[in-house]
A and B are shown apart, each in its own frame.
Chain A
């Protein structure tokens, strides 16, 4: 009864309703976007290599910072985790496919169009969006280039894609679990994704609302964000961050899930504190809705508001701490080996925790007066976004790639990539803490001579980090084409879970008959 994939290349990938094929599409798309966003970052770091304007104009610099942020957040990291969810969730809960396969196809295939629209603005008269990925009004409304309308429609399409993807995941997990797969038996990756999906469904409409208000202000004479017409520019920031803060957890929660799968495997010991992990994830998700204005400590809120947002933000440290302690305790008294996925996961725990520390410092409103909008913040969020989300995404690919394609990646090359990435990452972003504390604001196309040394160090690190990604690409392609074939269903000695009971490589259709759980 099981049908294979369509013979024709176009009908296989264009019309696919298979969760594995769509997962593959998502992953390749996100890697392409990752390289594109990385290329933008290289332009930024090249310009900042020395003080003075050498390569590009400040207008274009602002377009680069904006596009780097938008492409990395919406094009690279989010689709990467949706791709992993597509591949792994049905296999982890014993489902034959996603609950809504046609919508799955649609939610992927509108994404390339969204980014084609967004990126095409770079070639239009007036240039692309130049107001930062946070697009604060009125810089993004009254003072924006005309191409802002393309940006708005691009964001709408991305939002629609995310919402459809999330609904699909929620529907799959609620309805399609194999008999006996109770909620508290689900792998943590599934749990973190369900919680993420609820966050997405809740906040993507808020983002859509924000850009729609912009659209009205720009084209139809309303004044939501225009003080001259009775509106309020600060309203934009409240609406944006009500979306934006949950958004950063949307990015990091699936990463938590990935690491919670990998660390037990290579510790050969079950995850410590499974239920507290689930509760901690849910707490973080809840807290993410009530802390948004800590991004706005310098906007002149009343002190009562500022105190509330400071206390609430500090609270996030508690559930996050629980997760870190659980990961470390999982390793305690295990039998550890350090394959590439494990190396990336351990680096994740260390560097993410470091980013968490700077996050706690940022939550202290009085000190944030000094940190806000400086390179200290840039360093902080790259520690949690890159060493957090990107490292765990890389770990996930190395961890599951042998299962997906039935071939083993080159371990030495993986480890070399890890060490280059790890060292280069720290060379890039550690000095940015110093730059920020010494007073360099973010989104600066040029800077005073006192910042020259650390900027140069940071740029060198960034180029190295970029190079490591090409090695990653090479290793993945080499594995798929010429890797050593394997057929052990478990792949990893310590792997546990339904996905590892399936044959390697995973067949096109899996669990057509539900598995039986003890």
Chain B
């Protein structure tokens, strides 16, 4: 390489080298981590991270060799330097070499890649089974065999999303109720979808499995580090795709047991409220909050709907028709449309309150009252 080429080479690369060195000195580990895959807190996430780093290094070495050679050629073999072009166009030896060597590298890479994948699939013998169901646009968690089941939805208010209020620290990373799991227990997630395909991803666990309606997929996690881990839906599922985060809280075992006991008690207390007579004010207040979370996404804040996509509720034949039909729509959904069945998503109290709210809001003046017991009765007659 001539002097000039060397000078050009250094001139071009010195900023890059400088950036690397300076960047390494200034950037703390947190900054670096925000550019790279998280190591996470489970065996599987560690394995994914390790194979990711192996791949990065292999690619870097190959890249430096190939691009380095290419840049050398671009500087050394320029026409402006008066070179005469050679005329060779094949060389069997190098052609065989650069077919076989990459193939060998691939075989070597396949070994850690296979081991890591075996870990991902090691879902046998769990301590706890949790059924995860994707809904448009929220998650439902059911602790199998414990009788505990709840929905987990985005808690960030619409005002923050639409810039009418300053965004909070946990913008789009907060839910109504997080999934809770204990440390040091193998937790298996059985993942399915209720309507369209969703995908349940928690990066720190390296758990990402599609939630396909009619199918169960399995993944697992076991960690010794308590904390709050945030994940996301990773399969396009409609307009709320970006608004159904996952929050998992890992608690020490004793804490977890306490939480579980409290959840079970809550379920017992809830049963007693179904039979009680609710007042108009109670139903309206409850209904308004349920509507905002479960209905307003499609039917809009004031029941105006979106023409051609989501029907308006104001003056709608169902909302202003017989109560039984209205209950039926919420319990059964409408086949072949985005209107899903809410029988498993909402409690009897919630369904009663939201129907009552719709029939007596935004200019709908039905004046009738819907009680939780009506919903229970409807369900039982089916």
Contact = CB atoms under 8 A, between A and B. Distances in A.
Q: Are chains A and B native binding partners rather than an unrelated pairing?
A: yes
Interface of A: 51-54, 57-59, 61-62, 124-127, 130-132, 136, 138-139, 142-143, 145-146, 227-228, 232-234, 267-276, 298-300, 303, 306-307, 310-311, 314-315, 317-318, 321-322, 324-325, 328-329, 331-338, 346, 349-350, 353-354, 357, 360-361, 364-367, 369-370, 372-374, 434, 437-450, 494
A300 B209 contact: yes
27 contacts: A51-B172, A52-B163, A58-B239, A136-B236, A142-B196, A142-B337, A233-B212, A233-B215, A272-B88, A273-B90, A276-B90, A298-B234, A299-B217, A300-B216, A318-B102, A322-B99, A334-B77, A336-B74, A350-B67, A353-B66, A365-B120, A366-B119, A369-B120, A370-B48, A373-B234, A441-B232, A441-B233
B237 interface: yes
Given A132-B236, A267-B85, A139 B121 contact: no
A357 B236 contact: no
Contact of A361 (B55, B70, B99, B237): B55
Contact of A233 (B70, B77, B197): B197
Contacts of B118: 303
B282 interface: no
Contacts of A365: 113, 117, 120
B104 to A, nearest CB: 10
B243 A446 contact: yes
B86 A333 contact: yes
A300 B117 contact: no
A104 to B, nearest CB: 34
Interface in B70-113: 70, 73-74, 77-80, 83-90, 94-95, 98-99, 102-103, 106, 109-110, 113
A370 B70 contact: no
Interface of B: 34-38, 44-45, 47-48, 51-52, 55-56, 59, 62-63, 66-67, 69-70, 73-74, 77-80, 83-90, 94-95, 98-99, 102-103, 106, 109-110, 113-114, 116-121, 136, 160-163, 167, 169, 171-173, 195-197, 199, 201, 203, 206-210, 212-218, 230-243, 306-309, 336-338
B51 to A, nearest CB: 5
Given A126-B309, A318-B106, A300 B217 contact: yes
A271 B67 CA distance: 19
A59 B102 contact: no
A276 B119 CA distance: 39
Nearest to B63: A357
B66 A438 contact: no
Of all A-B residue pairs in the complex, the 5 with the closest CB atoms, nearest first, are A227-B214, A300-B217, A125-B308, A366-B116, A357-B59
A328 B95 CA distance: 13
B51 A367 contact: yes
Contacts, number: 295
Contact of A298 (B51, B209, B231): B209
Given A62-B239, A299-B212, A321-B98, A370 B37 contact: yes
Nearest to B201: A441
Contacts of A321: 98-99, 102
Contact of A336 (B38, B77, B217, B236): B77
Nearest to B162: A53
A442 B85 CA distance: 47
Nearest to A302: B121
Given A314-B110, A357-B63, A372-B208, A270 B87 contact: yes
B47 A366 contact: yes
Contacts of A318: 99, 102-103, 106
B79 A369 contact: no
Given A334-B85, A366-B113, A366-B120, A139 B55 contact: no
B241 A444 contact: yes
A360 B197 contact: no
A307 B48 CA distance: 15
A289 to B, nearest CB: 19
A439 B109 contact: no
A421 to B, nearest CB: 19
Contacts of A62: 236, 238-239, 241
Contacts of A346: 70, 74
A124 B86 CA distance: 61
Given A233-B213, A334-B86, A367 B199 contact: no
Contacts of A438: 34-36, 38
A425 to B, nearest CB: 17
A124 B184 CA distance: 54
A130 B63 CA distance: 38
A233 B214 contact: yes
A370 B79 contact: no
A316 to B, nearest CB: 10
A366 B51 contact: yes
B195 A306 contact: no
Contact of A446 (B48, B109, B161, B206): B161
Contacts of A370: 37, 45, 48, 52, 203, 206, 208
Contact of B309 (A131, A145, A449): A145
Nearest to A449: B171
Contacts of B35: 434, 437-438
Nearest to A365: B117
Given A318-B103, A361-B56, A366-B117, A269 B241 contact: no
A328 B69 contact: yes
A93 B332 CA distance: 65
Contacts of B114: 307, 310
Given A333-B86, A335-B83, A311 B110 contact: yes
Contacts of B237: 139
A328 B73 contact: yes
B98 A269 contact: no
Q: Which of B38, B114, B117, B201 has the most CB of A within 10 A?
A: B117
Contacts of A328: 66, 69-70, 73
Nearest to A301: B217
Contacts of B197: 136, 138-139, 233
B309 A127 contact: yes
Given A273-B95, A335-B83, A364-B55, 13 more contacts: A59-B306, A233-B213, A275-B90, A298-B209, A303-B121, A310-B113, A331-B74, A336-B74, A360-B55, A438-B35, A439-B203, A439-B231, A449-B167
A53 B161 contact: yes
A268 B240 CA distance: 56
A218 to B, nearest CB: 9
B199 A51 contact: no
B153 to A, nearest CB: 15
A441 B237 CA distance: 12
Given A306-B117, A445-B242, A52 B160 contact: yes
A369 B206 CA distance: 6
Contacts of A138: 195-197, 213
Contact of A337 (B67, B78, B169, B239): B78
A392 to B, nearest CB: 17
Contact of A139 (B78, B95, B236): B236
A373 to B, nearest CB: 4
Nearest to A450: B34
B113 to A, nearest CB: 5
A145 B308 contact: yes
A139 B212 contact: no
